[in-house]
Amino acid sequence: MQTDHRGRFSPFHGTTVLAVRRNGRVIVAGDGQVTMNDTIVKHRARKVRRIYHDRIIVGFAGATADALTLSEKLEAKLEKSNGNLTRAAVDLARDWRTDKMLRRLEALMVAADAGKTYLLSGTGDIIEPDEDIIAIGSGAVAAQAAATALMRHSPLDPLEIVKHAMAIAASLCVYTNSEITIEEITSNGSIEAG
């Protein structure tokens, strides 16, 4: 993870993950760049993946080991709640906020199923986006702004919106590249290859 000019943890460096929901489809995409301080150490990391019988897509920004730990914890909560993403997200956020080990994890997560999309943070926040668009990471502002404009002013399908928005984020953010992983779930629960 990156720190700001005062040495404080800054959760907004290192990646871009974008989720867009439109016309019964949810698309989650993440770039592949991994940086350590100011050096690129990997170009094709997979920051978006499917969990819980391929019914949930998660994307993460932050320290990789921390993000994978959160993903595993969310999957365990999904098993306990029979795949109810809302209940699992609330349980994970509660644990994340109160557990000493989890509180130290430096990551943000987007989780989506056929019906809901959430941003989960270490402060215990569970945010459901107003406009069916949510982004995290260093290029989040660029990706979310581009996706919002495309949603409001174009008839593009959500896959094209995500591709264009991620390309814009990669062109503006030095911590985001154009090696994009994309996953999709439709409202009937079918999954498209990314």
* Options 15, 16, 35, 181, the catalytic residue: 15
- Please say if 3 is a catalytic residue: no
Report how far residue 122's alpha carbon sits from residue 133's, in angstroms, rounded to the nearest whole number.
20
Angle 89-90-93 from CA coordinates, rounded to 5°: 85
* 91-100: long-range pairs with CB below 8 Å, 24+: 92/120, 93/120, 93/121, 93/124, 93/125, 93/126, 94/124, 96/70, 96/120, 96/121, 96/122, 96/124, 97/122, 97/123, 97/124
* Residue pair 168/177 in contact by the 8 Å Cβ criterion: no
Q: How many residues does the chain have?
A: 194
Of the CA atoms within 13 Å of residue 113, those in its CB half-sphere come to 18
Q: Are 172 and 144 in contact (CB under 8 A)?
A: no
Question: Cα(112)–Cα(184) distance, rounded to whole angstroms?
Answer: 10
- Could you give the residue numbers annotated as active site? 15
